[in-house]
């Protein structure tokens, strides 16, 4: 498990610190595979902000999740995504 966490940490650093769209997309794919909800939304927004080549399946996954959240929860998640790029 440690190697998976280390790999995720490296991808996160590349996406957030180096603005690597490929790393952001890999994180989103990982979240989808693990059926994450909120973190998948954050990673989707990050990938979108970085210009990653999102596919219809990415959009469909987050639309399904977003439909179940309140506007306040969505605003909080969007803020978290923006903060990752600024940090």
- Calculate mean pLDDT across residues 10-31: 96
**50 alpha-carbon distance from chain centroid:** 11
Answer whether residue 83 shows pLDDT above 80.
yes
Domain ranges, residue 12: 2-86
pLDDT in tens, 34-74: 999 999 999 999 999 999 999 999 999 999 999 999 999 99
Tally the domains of the chain.
1
Contact between 55 and 28 (Cβ < 8 Å)? no
Contact between 82 and 42 (Cβ < 8 Å)? no
Tell me the H-state helices in the chain. 2-17, 21-33, 38-49, 56-66, 71-86
pTM listed for this prediction = 0.89
At residue 1, the pLDDT reads 47
């Amino acid at each position: 498990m440690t190697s998976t966490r280390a790999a995720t940490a490296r991808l996160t650093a590349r996406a957030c610190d180096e603005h690597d769209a490929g790393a952001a997309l890999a994180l989103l794919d990982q979240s989808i595979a693990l059926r994450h909800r909120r973190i998948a939304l954050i990673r989707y927004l990050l990938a979108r902000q970085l210009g990653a080549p999102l596919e219809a399946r990415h959009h469909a996954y987050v639309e399904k999740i977003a439909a179940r959240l309140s506007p306040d929860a969505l605003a909080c998640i969007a803020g978290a995504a923006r903060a990752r790029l600024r940090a």
